[in-house]
Structure 1
Amino acid sequence: MAGIVDVAREAGVSTATVSRALSGKDYVSQETKTLVQAVADRLGYVPSASAYTLVTGRTKNIGVVVPYVDRWFFSTALETVDRELVKAGYDVTLYNLSSGDDHRSSVFGRSLPRKRVDAVMCISVKMTDDEIAALAKVNKPIVALGGPIAGAKSIKINDTSAGRLATDHLLAMGHTNIAMIGQNEKDQKLFNVFNERRDGYETALKLAGIQPRPAWYKAVNKHAISEGYSAAKQLLGDPHNAPTAIFASSDELAVGAMLAAKDMGLKVPEDVSIVGVDNHELAEFFGITTIDQNVTGQAELLVKTMLQLLDDPEHAVQDVVEWPIELIVRGSTTKAKTVS
């Protein structure tokens, strides 16, 4: 197996230059970096991780903390983070918090404080004061997606604005009986994004002179098509409060609402208009009008921000970056029927 001496001899440079070139140091010219990398690839040379850590004090490893891995937002963000970090030459250590409180305590109390990572990325993880304190002791750059964390650089959308934009769209279509499907948020360790979306929904109604009705709001336990289906059946089957439009707080819930309307003999959008949030792949397939939050773009910016902080800890970065949202109008919304 080729060693660093072989690469240096073949490239015509010193072993120190090989080490600097393969570690991405700025004070080696791009031409030399390209030459050394090409020679290393041809000879099959892979730098020793332990030697790199000994010389630089870094591990080329990033800790990524997520509350779940089997839900769309988290899996989409995680896939993007993993792709971008590997592209940048980093390994990824995943800390999945879904296994319960004991496991979560172990992650923040033991695993992360061991400092075997160069930085920590938190994907929509709301932390307790004790967890924030434990993370601060790691003394590494921290970036977060989905909500603010003390001491971290964060990226998030304005969920209140998302709820308001979706509702304003339905109001502009002439709808006044507008229901919402949200989510129960009893878990204090998750950001209350769906309560914020509900605030936006209710604000839009009130500004239009419409008083929100309790019967227009249905909360579900999780983001699932089946949950959206059940909630929409209850809403659309109410003889006194049946809506002409539904704001679903995720596209998966919106898909369920569409299927429920169809099973009840209603046409979308002629009889009921439906708006979702996310721009999930299913939204395009089912033609659902949605609020696009571009999770992939957010995750790419998260990685870019973290790499900037690793290269230059003094790099000026906003504490909280508000990611823009966009209304994408498809075939699930139309003007309300006029009453003759």
Structure 2
Amino acid sequence: MATIADVAAHAGVSKSTASRALRGAGTVSAATRRRVQHAADQLAFVATPSAARLATGRTHTVAVVTPFVCRWFFATAVAGIQHELARSGFDLLLYDLHQPAARERFFTQMPVRGRADGAVLLTLPVSEAEETALAGLRVPMAFVGDIVPGSSSVRIDDRGAARLATRHLLNLGHQRLALIGGDPSEPMGFAAPAQRRAGFDDAIREAGVVVPEAHVAAGDFTAAGGAVAMSQILAAERIPTAVFVASDEMAFGAVHTIRQLGLRVPQDISVIGFDDHELAEPFGLTTVRQDVYRQAHAAARSVLDTIAAGESASPRHRVVSTELVVRDTTARAGEPPSAHRTIPPHERNTA
């Protein structure tokens, strides 16, 4: 197993410099830090958090606060954060706030206090009281998917990406569109569903297309939720020829329902999702790709950099680009799908 001395020798620096570079501490130049990290990666070196705690007095732990653990988006995000923390010798402390009681306990008792040097919060809209409680921790924070004053953020342009997806359907000549969006009564109050609905509305308004209320349904961002929502839409007197679904998991359920009713995808109904879930490619789903792992990785890096810089660091806000990936579930009415392709850079949503 490689030691810090091995990393230092490989990078051509002293042991103390290598140690500071890997901990994100002290005055180490960005170039040296990259060289040391590259050496550590090549040697498969893993920093020992317990040793770092003794040396710095820090916990060398970052808290991750999430509304779900098992859902694809959140599991992928946690994996991205874990990877970046491990590279810097930090542990991950996970808080699952899915249950209302767990959320209330977290924000009233703040069990993370003194146990973490920073925190990453995943798509978790916070109230004014919760925002005040978080500020009282006085540790660096980054939000994935939301913007909170005083904290860094990493997100995508949900509205622009949904507009891009809807325009794809319109460009294929579809005029009878449908939408499966998020449930507005969802207690977590996520921001993404409303932004994706707004992007859909932007596109149809620009195109002069009117979507009847019977062609709009809500789901809970699960395959089962998408299946139920699609059933509601297909009960309309006149069915749509294309549907934008606000998440891939709901899109999987929507496609299943369409086929169960004897209709074809995309010959009868085109379906486009949102996320580029790991099963989207084998499923052949046309979708908007967002790199969840990259967003989470960037949020963790932001927190670690702020920990290293101390109070002098200012919050940073980053918008990660999305892209349209065309597969087998969208086509012009009556036409078979073309070969898989990814939209070239000049057509992507890079806002």
- Matched with 1:98 is 98
- Matched with 2:72 is 72
Matched, 1:275 2:272: yes
Calculate the TM-score normalised by the size of structure 2. 0.80
Deviation at 1:316, TM superposition (A): 5.5
- Matched with 1:248 is 245
- Matched with 1:260 is 257
Q: Map 1:197-212 to 2 at 5 A.
A: 197-212=196-211
Matched, 1:307 2:304: yes
**What amino acid sits opposite 2:177 in the alignment?**
I
Deviation at 1:219, TM superposition (A): 0.9
The alignment yields a C-alpha RMSD, in angstroms, of 3.0
- Matched with 2:108 is 109
Q: Distance in 1 between matches of 2:296 and 2:227?
A: 30
- Matched with 2:193 is 194
- Matched with 2:125 is 126
Q: Distance in 1 between matches of 2:259 and 2:230?
A: 11
**What amino acid sits opposite 2:57 in the alignment?**
G
Q: Distance in 2 between matches of 1:26 and 1:312?
A: 8
Tell me the SS of whatever aligns to 1:114. Answer: coil
- Matched with 2:229 is 231
Deviation at 1:328, TM superposition (A): 0.4
With over 3 angstroms needed to count, the CA separation of the structure-2 counterparts of 1:307 and 1:132, relative to structure 1, is same
**What amino acid sits opposite 1:179 in the alignment?**
A
Q: Distance in 2 between matches of 1:48 and 1:71?
A: 31
Q: Distance in 2 between matches of 1:203 and 1:153?
A: 28
Structure 2 contact 151–315 (Cα < 8 Å) conserved: no
Structure 1 contact 216–241 (Cα < 8 Å) conserved: no
Q: Map 1:1-340 to 2 at 5 A.
A: 21-22=18-19, 24=21, 25=25, 48-49=50-51, 52-53=52-53, 55-101=55-101, 103-112=102-111, 114-187=113-186, 189-220=188-219, 222-238=220-236, 240-313=237-310, 314-315=312-313, 318=316, 320-337=317-334
With over 3 angstroms needed to count, the CA separation of the structure-2 counterparts of 1:171 and 1:61, relative to structure 1, is same
Structure 1 contact 235–241 (Cα < 8 Å) conserved: no
- Matched with 1:4 is none
Greater Rg by CA: 1
Tell me the SS of whatever aligns to 1:281. Answer: coil
Q: Distance in 2 between matches of 1:149 and 1:47?
A: 29
- Aligned residue pairs total 314
Percentage of matched positions with identical amino acids: 35
Q: Distance in 1 between matches of 2:299 and 2:48?
A: 28
Q: Distance in 1 between matches of 2:332 and 2:50?
A: 64
Deviation at 1:197, TM superposition (A): 0.8
Structure 1 contact 244–271 (Cα < 8 Å) conserved: yes
Mean Cα displacement is larger for which, 111-120 or 176-185?
111-120
With over 3 angstroms needed to count, the CA separation of the structure-2 counterparts of 1:204 and 1:107, relative to structure 1, is same
**What amino acid sits opposite 1:308 in the alignment?**
D
1:67-109, Cα deviation, whole Å (9 max, x unpaired): 11021111110111112211221011111111323x2233223
Deviation at 1:113, TM superposition (A): 5.9
1:275-319, Cα deviation, whole Å (9 max, x unpaired): 00000012111101000011011111112222221222434553x
Gaps of 5+ in 2: 9-13, 336-351
Q: Distance in 2 between matches of 1:262 and 1:271?
A: 10
Gaps of 5+ in 1: 1-6, 12-16
Deviation at 1:144, TM superposition (A): 0.8
Deviation at 1:47, TM superposition (A): 7.3
Q: Distance in 2 between matches of 1:46 and 1:67?
A: 29
Deviation at 1:212, TM superposition (A): 2.4
Q: Distance in 2 between matches of 1:47 and 1:96?
A: 23
Structure 1 contact 124–190 (Cα < 8 Å) conserved: no
Structure 2 contact 48–89 (Cα < 8 Å) conserved: no
1:123-158, Cα deviation, whole Å (9 max, x unpaired): 111111111111111111111101111211011111
Q: Distance in 1 between matches of 2:305 and 2:221?
A: 34
Q: Distance in 2 between matches of 1:274 and 1:60?
A: 45
Deviation at 1:27, TM superposition (A): 6.0
Tell me the SS of whatever aligns to 2:189. Answer: coil
